[in-house]
Amino acid sequence: MSDVAVSAQSITKIFGPTEGGLRALDDVSVDIRTNEFFTLLGPSGCGKTTLLRMIAGFETPTFGSIILDGKDITTDPPFRRPVNTVFQSYALFPHLTVAQNVGFGLEMRGKQKSEIGAAVAEVLALVRMEQMAERYPSQLSGGQQQRVALARALAPRPSVLLLDEPLSALDLKLRKQMQIELKRMQLETGITFIFVTHDQEEALTMSDRIAVMSAGRILQIGAPREIYNAPANRFVADFIGESNFLPAEVEGPAAVKLGNGASAPAAMPDGLGAGTRVTVAVRPEQIDVCPEAEGILSGTIAELVYFGTDMHAHIDLGDGATLVARVTARSDAGLEKGGRTGIRFATGALRVVEETA
C-alpha cells in the first residue's frame, strides 16, 4: 500500500458550459496521506465540497483525475468506490432502525448476517450508541443521529472516510465534544479522514494537515501550526485566526520599516529587495500594550471589546490604520477608551505576507 491514500491530480470542475461556465475548481492537485486527518478548509463556495464529492463519486471532474490507493477511480460510480461519506444532513434512512442503517453498507456488499451483526455492534460501541440499536432515526436527537451517521459510514471499514461539515448542525458544546471524539475515532480505526469545514477552529483542533481553499484553488497545505504561524498569504492569515495587516517597507533581509518610520524585525520570503512595499501581518495575541514611551508604535484606544477571558483593544494608530490587540482580562489595568497607549510586538510576531489578488 502506498502512503498516499487519495491523490487529486490537476482537477478542474466547470459547472455549465466548458467555456464561460462556473469554475468551481481550478487545477487543484493534492496528495492525502494514508491514515491522516486531512481537512479542506475554506469559505462557502470555495470548492471544498465539490472536491469531496468528486472523491466520493457524486461529481465527475471536467479535467484531471482522482487516484485512490494507486488506482484511477475518476469515472467509477460511487457504489464501486471503497470510500464512505458522512453527510452534513446525516441522510439516515428514516424507514430503517439504527442497526439496519449501520449495517446497510455491509449488507450491500453481500456480507453474512452474523458478520454484519458483529460489525454493527462493534462500530456502535465505538460511537457509544449501543443502547440505541433498535430505535428509528426520528427517535434520536441531532447529536445521536450524527453518531449513527458516523457509525454507518465507518461500518464497512472504508479506506477513506469523507466528512462533509458533519458538525455544523450541532450546538457549540456538543461540537467541541465531537471534535475530540472524531479525532479519537480516527486514531482508533486508522482510517484516512478527509474533513470539509469552514470553521477554522475545528480544522486547527483535529487535523494533521489542512488545505486552505479559496475561489476554487488551494492556497496553502500544511500542519495546523504551520498554517497558523506562517500563513502563505493575506487570505490565509485573515481566514485562519485573526490578523492585523500593516503597510510597511522592506529595510533589510529580516527587517521592515513601519508606517511611523520605526524599524522592526519581520520574517519574510527570500528575494525581497530593500524599499519594496509590502504588507505585514500580526496576530492580536502577539501585540503587547505598554506605556506610550516604551512602545514601537503608539495610538489611541478606539474601542475595548470584552469577551470573558480576554479583551480586544482596538488601537487607532493615527495614520488611518487600526490594530486589534488581545489583552488578558487580568492585565487590562490602565486601559480605557480614548486613552493613549504604546504597542510592542512579541518576538517573531511580524510576518510579511503576499497580497492575494
Partner 1 sequence: MAERARKSFSVRQLPGVTPITMACFAALYAPIVIIVIYSFNAGDSVALWQGFSFRWYAIAAENELVQEATVRSLVIALWASGISTVLATMAALGTTRTAKFPGSTFIYVMINQPLMVPEIVTAVALLIFFASIKVATGYSGLGYLILAHSAFCVPFAYLPIRARLEGMDRTLEIAAADLYATPWQTFRRVTLPLVLPGIVAGAMLAFVISLDDVIITEFVKSAGQDTLPTYMLGQLRRAVTPEVNAISTALLGLTILLLTAFFLLTGRGNDKKP
Residues lying near partner 1 in the complex (CB under 8 A) are found at 56-58, 77-80, 83-85, 87, 89, 91, 93-95, 104-105, 108-109, 138, 152-153, 156
Q: Going edge to edge, which strands form the sheet with 322-328?
A: 287-290, 340-345, 297-307, 310-316, 322-328
CB of 69 to partner 1, least distance (A): 17
Q: Going edge to edge, which strands form the sheet with 4-15?
A: 22-33, 4-15, 63-68, 71-72
Decide if 258 contacts 246 (C-beta within 8 A).
Answer: yes
CA distance 246 to 280: 5
Three-state secondary structure readout of 205-265: HHCCEEEEEECCEEEEEECHHHHHHCCCEHHHHHHCCCCEEEEEEEEECCEEECCCCCEEE
**In terms of CB distance, is 153 or 204 closer to partner 1?**
153
**In terms of CB distance, is 109 or 113 closer to partner 1?**
109
**In terms of CB distance, is 85 or 197 closer to partner 1?**
85
DSSP state of 290: E
C-alpha grid cell, residue 129: 450508541
**CA proximity to 83, closest of 7, 203, 192:** 192
CB of 110 to partner 1, least distance (A): 9
**In terms of CB distance, is 57 or 216 closer to partner 1?**
57
Residue 108: strand, helix, or coil:
helix
CB of 168 to partner 1, least distance (A): 15
Q: How large is the C-alpha radius of gyration of the chain?
A: 24
C-alpha grid cell, residue 329: 482580562
CA distance 51 to 34: 18
CB of 160 to partner 1, least distance (A): 12
CB of 89 to partner 1, least distance (A): 6
CB of 290 to partner 1, least distance (A): 52
**In terms of CB distance, is 104 or 239 closer to partner 1?**
104
**In terms of CB distance, is 42 or 105 closer to partner 1?**
105
CB of 60 to partner 1, least distance (A): 13
Exposed / middle / buried, residue 16 (Cβ in 10 Å: 0-12, 13-18, 19+):
exposed
**In terms of CB distance, is 59 or 292 closer to partner 1?**
59
